[in-house]
């Protein structure tokens, strides 16, 4: 969450979900996924998970001042020790913003 508006929206979603899922009890995951995809198509949207990749890569550039490895930036192996520390901080921040508990998941979005 980066803005008060995002926090407010998430709080509203939590009220709906309570301690459960946003998938209705009478549906299974794949059914709800198909509904989601159909609604996205209806709105002219596709490949929505790609938005997470784009966000992570844009955020990586904001936090480090360089492109993510997957977008043409240097790999972790090519970074100086100081830049690796910046890379670690950025990856941890991005992982938290994406709702993941593991920094390693950011490699899927940004490269390694």
Residues 29 and 69 in one domain: no
Kindly state the average pLDDT of the residues 67-91: 96
Residues 10 and 25 in one domain: yes
Kindly state the average pLDDT of the residues 86-110: 91
pTM score of the predicted model? 0.69
**pLDDT bucket at 94, cuts 50 / 70 / 90:** very high
Structural tokens at position 18:
């309570």
Residues 61 and 31 in one domain: no
Residue 55: Cβ within 10 Å count: 14
Q: What range defines the domain where residue 57 resides?
A: 49-110
Residues 84 and 53 in one domain: yes
Q: What is the pLDDT of residue 34?
A: 93
Q: What is the pLDDT of residue 112?
A: 92
CA–CA distance, 41 with 101 (Å, rounded to integer): 31
Residues 13 and 60 in one domain: no
CA–CA distance, 33 with 96 (Å, rounded to integer): 24
| Total number of domains in the chain | 2
């Amino acid at each position: 969450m980066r803005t008060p508006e995002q926090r407010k929206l998430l709080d509203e979603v939590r009220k709906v979900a309570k301690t459960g899922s946003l998938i209705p009890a009478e549906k299974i995951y794949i059914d709800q996924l198909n509904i989601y995809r159909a609604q996205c198509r209806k709105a002219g949207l596709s490949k929505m998970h790609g938005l997470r990749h784009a966000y992570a890569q844009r955020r990586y550039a904001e936090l480090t001042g360089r492109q993510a490895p997957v977008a043409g930036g240097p790999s972790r192996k090519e970074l100086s020790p100081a830049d690796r520390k910046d890379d670690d901080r950025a990856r941890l921040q991005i992982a938290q913003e994406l709702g993941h508990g593991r920094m390693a998941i950011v490699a899927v979005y940004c490269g390694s």
